[in-house]
Amino acid sequence: MAATERKLPAPAISPETEPYWQAASEGKLLVKRCQNCGETHHYPRSICPHCGSDRTEWTTASGVGTVYSYSVMRRAPVPYAVAYVTLAEGTTMFTNLVDCDLDRLSIGMKVRVVFKPTEGGPPLPCFTPA
């Protein structure tokens, strides 16, 4: 029997990213916001990639966004799509597109966050058509 859903590996969790993964376990998507320049960023890290400040804080993202770019991997045992999604907050994150028809994906498509189980770790934020 062929697999119908891709297995997602558990993420590596560090003290710096632990709040992010804890929030994911609660169904919330966090991003970092810089207290110096006001920009948000993802993947969450303590130094702002926009201005270099170390004054960053966690903020809950809306979980909605738009597909900026995507690629469909059809040679895998289970075909899947990865994408850059620009969140309503303005930051762009690399993610998986799930629970969708891979032939109907498009740039500009509205998407919303869903959390998918991983192999032995916290759920992974992914996106599905809104």
Comparing CA positions, the residue from 71, 74, 77 lying closest to residue 7 is 77
DSSP 63: S
Any idea where the domains of the chain sit in the sequence? 18-129
CATH 2.40.50.840 fits 18-129, yes or no: yes
pLDDT digits (tens, 9 = 90+) for 76-130: 789 999 999 999 999 999 999 999 999 999 999 999 999 999 999 999 999 999 9
